[in-house]
């Protein structure tokens, strides 16, 4: 309500409809003590959707008694609340789906790694059991080599050993 309106202290009737006013009521309204009737938040005839004006809580202390029917409205509209609930629901569903996919992916990687380690261990143990007792065994990448790795065919190893590069 404009402050200028609240300066009309000798006003006997105050009715504001169809203005879609919002915000807080001016504390100056308490000076309007001579009001006989006051309609700040009532619905206008033919207006759908509830009150025509919505004021934030709390209402000013000392509001004239004629304005006691005025109500504050801090509640979010039902549409806004429904949209927020819908968005939160969608986000939760997406997070749950992503969590399930991440869990399955992690489990598949873990199973693959376990299978690889088990296979490599079995190969190493088999090679150790089949080799001659007391003979040296070199294991490279899970495979036994009779004398260690063969670098004779590796050009990078030859270049590194001779100190030259191609």
Provide the whole-model pTM: 0.40
Residue 92's pLDDT is what? 98
Which stretches of the chain score pLDDT less than 50?
none
Four-point Cα dihedral 45, 50, 74, 12, nearest 10: 20
Residue 45's pLDDT is what? 57
Residue 47's pLDDT is what? 52
Residue 150's pLDDT is what? 56
Q: How do the domains of the chain map onto residue ranges?
A: 1-75, 76-130, 132-166
Backbone torsions φ then ψ of 140, nearest 5 degrees: -125, 125
Antiparallel, parallel or unpaired: β 54-55 and 22-23: parallel
Residue 105's pLDDT is what? 96
Residue 91's pLDDT is what? 98
Residue 151's pLDDT is what? 52
pLDDT (tens digit per residue) in 74-113: 666 777 888 999 999 999 999 999 999 999 999 999 999 9
Token pair, residue 75, equals 């509640």
């Amino acid at each position: 309500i404009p402050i200028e309106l609240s300066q009309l202290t000798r006003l006997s009737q105050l009715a504001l409809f169809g203005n879609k006013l919002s915000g807080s009521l001016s504390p100056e309204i308490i000076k309007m003590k001579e009001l006989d009737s006051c309609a700040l938040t009532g619905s206008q005839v033919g207006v759908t959707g509830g009150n025509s004006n919505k004021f934030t809580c709390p209402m000013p202390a000392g509001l004239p008694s004629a304005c006691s029917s005025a109500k504050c409205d801090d509640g979010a509209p039902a549409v806004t609340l429904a949209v927020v609930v819908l968005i939160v629901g969608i986000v939760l569903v997406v997070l749950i789906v992503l969590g399930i996919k991440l869990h399955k992916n992690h489990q598949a990687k873990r199973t693959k790694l376990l299978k690889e380690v088990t296979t490599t261990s079995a190969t190493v143990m088999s090679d150790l059991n089949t080799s001659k007792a007391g003979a040296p065994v070199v294991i490279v990448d899970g495979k036994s080599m009779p004398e260690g790795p063969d670098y004779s065919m590796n050009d990078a190893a030859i270049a590194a050993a001779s100190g030259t590069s191609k």
